[in-house]
């Protein structure tokens, strides 16, 4: 919401409740009709995101990306730069914590094996 100067004056919200389960058994949030209310504020910080921070991929041209702008890796998580590994959302796109943790675990093993193969002093 804003005033005539187009400055933020508040945020219009609506209360939600969980609806009936869908075919997969998951209950989705559903707006409660007539429950709208306004939270007064003069700044709104949008702090949710479904894309990885693009700074790294935008500033590291040696990193091969897929068409969605995520980092490409081999099955061990190694990127197009030998010895550099990646996993989680920056590789998969928006995913889950458990997948990111799995990537980290898999890459940790691969990093260990990679370091065993690197000649001393390289
Ligand atoms: C609103 C929301 C709700 C979610 N809810 C769930 C949920 O209920 N369950 C679930 O499993 N998943 C959920 N997720 C997804 C989950 O948060 C991500 O899949 C997970 O955090 C990915 O982990 P990650 O380590 O790949 O990335 P992140 O957790 O995003 O970690 C990346 C880190 O790298 C840092 N970073 C970025 N760029 C740089 C840079 N250039 N230099 C140094 N550091 C940098 C960032 O600050 C961040 O700390 C949710 C995501 C969002 C946005």
Q: Residues 11-67: pLDDT tens digits?
A: 999 999 999 999 999 999 999 999 999 999 999 888 877 777 788 888 999 999 999
Whether the CB of 89 sits within 6 Å of ligand 1:
yes
> What whole-number distance in Å separates Cα of residue 2 and Cα of residue 41?
10
Task: Please tell me the predicted confidence (pLDDT) of residue 77.
Answer: 97
> What whole-number distance in Å separates Cα of residue 56 and Cα of residue 93?
14
Q: Choose which residue among 48, 53, 58, 86 to substitute to test ligand 1 binding: the one with the highest number of ligand atoms within 8 A of its C-beta.
A: 53
pTM of the model: 0.74
Length of the chain: 122
Whether the CB of 46 sits within 6 Å of ligand 1:
no
For residue 98, which atom of ligand 1 is closest to its CA? 11
- Closest C-alpha to ligand 1, atom 26: 88
Residue-wise pLDDT for 91-105, tens only, equals 999 899 999 999 999
Domain ranges of the chain: 1-47, 55-117
Q: Choose which residue among 79, 100, 104, 107 to substitute to test ligand 1 binding: the one with the highest number of ligand atoms within 8 A of its C-beta.
A: 100
């Amino acid at each position: 919401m804003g005033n005539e100067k187009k400055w933020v004056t508040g945020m219009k919200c609506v209360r939600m409740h969980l609806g009936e389960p869908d075919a997969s058994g998951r209950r989705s949030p559903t707006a409660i009709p007539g429950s709208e209310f306004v939270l007064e504020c003069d700044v709104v910080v949008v702090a949710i995101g479904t894309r990885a921070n693009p700074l790294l991929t935008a500033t590291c041209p040696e990193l091969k990306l897929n068409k969605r702008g995520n980092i490409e890796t081999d099955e061990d998580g190694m990127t197009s730069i030998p010895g550099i590994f990646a996993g989680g959302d920056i590789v998969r796109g928006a995913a889950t914590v458990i997948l990111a943790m799995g990537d980290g675990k898999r890459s940790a093993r691969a990093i260990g094996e990679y370091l065993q193969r690197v000649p001393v002093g390289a």
